[in-house]
Amino acid sequence: MERDQLKKEVCEAIDNRKDELISFAADIRRNPELGFKEHRTARQVKNKFEELKLEYVEGRAITGLKAKFGEGPVNIAVIGELDAVICASHPMAVGNAAHACGHDAQLAAMLGVGFGLIESRVIRSLNGVVTLFATPAEEGVEYDYRRRLVDEGKLEFTAGKQELIRLGDFDDVDMAMMCHSEGTVAGKTIWPKSSTNASISKKVRYVGKPSHYTAAPWDGVNALSAALLGLQAVNALRETFKDEDYVRFTPIMIKGGESENAVPSDAQINAYVKASTMKAAIDANKKVNRALISGSNAIGTHIEIDDFCNFMPLEYNESLAQVFSNNASQFMDVRKELYKTAGSTDMGDVSMIMPAIHPFVGGSVGGIHRETYKHVDEETAFIIPSKIMAMTIVDLLYDNARLGIKIALEKKRRMPKEEYLKTLRCLKRKIDK
């Protein structure tokens, strides 16, 4: 069968499931769950895998699951993320969790690829494997909870795809793709080429000495003052960060003392240091640590800094992006420029070890991670992206997977898994002084 006819049949099969996919996304949206807690969401995905009569594995990195179908020399992963983000003011929030980043759309698009290729029987005309992969814990939230999971031996890394790489779930995958909501563009616009920042997570604690705040403040050592001085020192560094490095420092004070009557003896900060490359992030983090320590030195507190790599930078694959773009142009305004954001994602970690793309797509407005975020065009937000990814797979696996094999060979130029894991582990660092 001709390639264009295969693509047509895949798209028709996705359209046949359109209402069901929209309902599925709405159900996920009404029931948000935070990272490594996405048990209901995983069950809903599992139900769809069973409906497709797919064999699957579940419980990967606690809640992740994947299903494979097809046969051949190339394995292409289509990824959807299970977790919500913390956004308690969102109108669809449950507790403090809300799908204000469009992961509901990702899961629907991922499943649409499965329905399209399987129910059209097009997969039988292709030479390769497709892995539908629902991954946990992409959002960088609840790090105290995640660190407890690490301490309990349930995880080594706190991001879902990092942990899945460690566990070997990507070992047989040759390339990966997913689509992400852009969040501010309602119309049919897509950016196939995207880049995100590397991210280092920090937990900082200043330990002072309590005393009565009014009767004898001179007997105390004020941890809050040390923390504020440290943050001000970081602010003084901002002009030293190069514009092209997209450096960001994102602190929140999670504890500033114990009582209004006592000199604060315990002040704690959680933060990210982000930059466009891993080297720039490491260099910026050294400066930030030096500044934070200066606050401790000035006041005379003890300081503890716990660093680890939150995400690697996202580096899109040009060849894969071009195939995707060719298909996207049939439906959308395809933007040729790089979509550069200072945000971060663990899809960056996947892109370190294999060819990968993470296009940003319209159909949603209000801004991601905001209470105003919503889908305004579900067709654009996830039905069309599902078609584009399925059509891209047809191109990659058609003609004995000639194009897929060519791109899969580019995996050899990416970072070996062992080197990637060594890098992550080397970035774990504790300062205690």
**Cβ neighbours of residue 177 closer than 8 Å, sequence gap 6 or more:** 76, 77, 78, 79, 320, 324, 356, 357, 358, 359, 389, 392
Provide the pLDDT for residue 13: 98
Provide the pLDDT for residue 309: 87
pTM to 2 decimal places: 0.94
Q: Which of 286, 354, 285, 287 is nearest to 314 (CA)?
A: 354
Beta carbons of 116 and 392 less than 8 angstroms apart = no
Q: Whats the size of the chain, residue-wise?
A: 433
Provide the pLDDT for residue 143: 87
Q: Per residue in 175-189, pLDDT tens?
A: 999 999 999 999 999
Q: Per residue in 370-380, pLDDT tens?
A: 999 999 999 99
Mean residue pLDDT across the chain? 97
pLDDT exceeds cutoff 90 at 343: yes
Measured CA to CA, the distance from residue 298 to residue 222 in angstroms comes to 11
Per-residue tokens: 212: 């009565």
Measured CA to CA, the distance from residue 270 to residue 28 in angstroms comes to 29
CA 83, 88, 89, 94 torsion-angle sign: positive
Measured CA to CA, the distance from residue 231 to residue 43 in angstroms comes to 43
Taking phi over 0 as left and psi of -120 to 50 as alpha, with beta for the rest, 405 belongs to alpha
User: DSSP of 19-42, one letter per residue?
Assistant: HHHHHHHHHHHHS---TT--HHHH
Q: What single letter denotes the amino acid at residue 250? A: T
Which residues on adjacent β-strands are paired with residue 270?
203, 252
Measured CA to CA, the distance from residue 28 to residue 37 in angstroms comes to 14
Map residue 378 onto helix, strand or coil.
helix
Provide the pLDDT for residue 28: 99
Whole-number percent of the chain with pLDDT over 70: 100
Domains (ranges, CATH) in the chain?
3-196+313-415 (3.40.630.10), 198-311 (3.30.70.360)
User: DSSP of 90-115, one letter per residue?
Assistant: STT-BTTEE--S-HHHHHHHHHHHHH
Provide mean pLDDT across the span 91-100. Answer: 98
Map residue 213 onto helix, strand or coil.
coil
Q: Per residue in 309-342, pLDDT tens?
A: 889 999 999 999 999 999 999 999 999 999 999 9
pLDDT-based confidence at residue 11 (cuts at 50, 70, 90)? very high
Provide the pLDDT for residue 312: 96
Provide mean pLDDT across the span 339-367. Answer: 97
Provide the pLDDT for residue 177: 99
- Could you identify the residue written with the tokens 């975020």? 373
Provide mean pLDDT across the span 208-226. Answer: 97
Provide the pLDDT for residue 39: 99
Map residue 335 onto helix, strand or coil.
coil
pLDDT exceeds cutoff 90 at 144: no
Q: Per residue in 36-86, pLDDT tens?
A: 999 999 999 999 999 999 999 999 999 999 999 999 999 999 999 999 999
Beta carbons of 49 and 65 less than 8 angstroms apart = yes
Provide the pLDDT for residue 186: 93
pLDDT-based confidence at residue 1 (cuts at 50, 70, 90)? confident
Provide mean pLDDT across the span 391-399. Answer: 99
pLDDT exceeds cutoff 90 at 155: yes
